[in-house]
Amino acid sequence: MSLEKLQRQIKTTQELREIVSTMKLLSSVSILQYEQAGAALEKYRRNLRTAFQALIRRYGLPHPAKSKAQPKYLLILIGSDNGMVGKFNQEIIKAVRADLRQKGVSPQQALFLVVGKRLNVLVEQQKWPVYARYGLSNSVKVVNTLAESIILRIDEATQAPRVSHVVAWFHQRGKNQPVKLENRQLLPFNLSALRTLKDKPWPTNNIPLLTLSVEQMFSALVREMLLIGMSGLLNQSLVAEHWTRMTNMQNAEKNIDDNLAELDKKYQQSRQEQITDELIDVISGVTALEKKKS
| Residue 61 clears pLDDT 70, i.e. is over it | yes
How confident is the model at residue 161, as a pLDDT? Answer: 65
Question: Whole-angstrom Cα distance, residue 123 to residue 115?
Answer: 11
Q: What is the mean pLDDT of the chain?
A: 88
pTM: 0.85
Specify if 284 maps to a domain.
no
Which segment of 97-106, 121-130, 180-189, 259-268 scores lowest on mean pLDDT?
A: 259-268
62-66, 102-106, 114-118: least confidently modelled range: 62-66
**Residue 80 covered by a domain:** yes
Read out DSSP for 221-260? HHHHHHHHHHHHHHHHHHHHHHHHHHHHHHHHHHHHHHHH
Q: Residue 114 domain-assigned?
A: yes
196 secondary structure, DSSP code: G
Amino acid found at 106: S
Tell me the helices (H) and strands (E) count for the chain, helix number first: 5, 5
| Residue 63 lies inside a defined structural domain of this protein | yes
Is residue 285's pLDDT more than 80?
no
Domain tally for the chain? 1
Return the pLDDT at 67: 64
Indicate the pairing of strand 165-173 with strand 130-134: unpaired
Q: Is residue 262 part of a domain?
A: no
Domain assignment of residue 108, yes or no: yes
We report the CATH number of the domain holding residue 72 as 3.40.1380.10
Task: Single out the residue of 122, 43, 133, 54 nearest to residue 87, CA to CA.
Answer: 122
Arithmetic mean of pLDDT, 140-166: 89
Top-confidence residue, 160 or 139: 139
Residue 22 reports pLDDT greater than 80: yes
The domain containing residue 191 runs over which residues? 33-246
Helices 3-59, 140-159: inter-axial angle, 10-degree rounding: 50
The secondary element (H helix, E strand) that includes residue 122 is: helix 117-126
| Residue 101 pLDDT exceeds 80 | yes
Q: Where are the alpha helices (DSSP H) in 195-213?
A: none
Q: What band does 96 get if pLDDT is binned at 50, 70 and 90?
A: very high
Q: Which amino acid is at 227?
A: L
Of the pLDDT bands very low, low, confident and very high (cuts 50, 70, 90), residue 278 is confident
Does residue 90 form part of some domain? Answer: yes
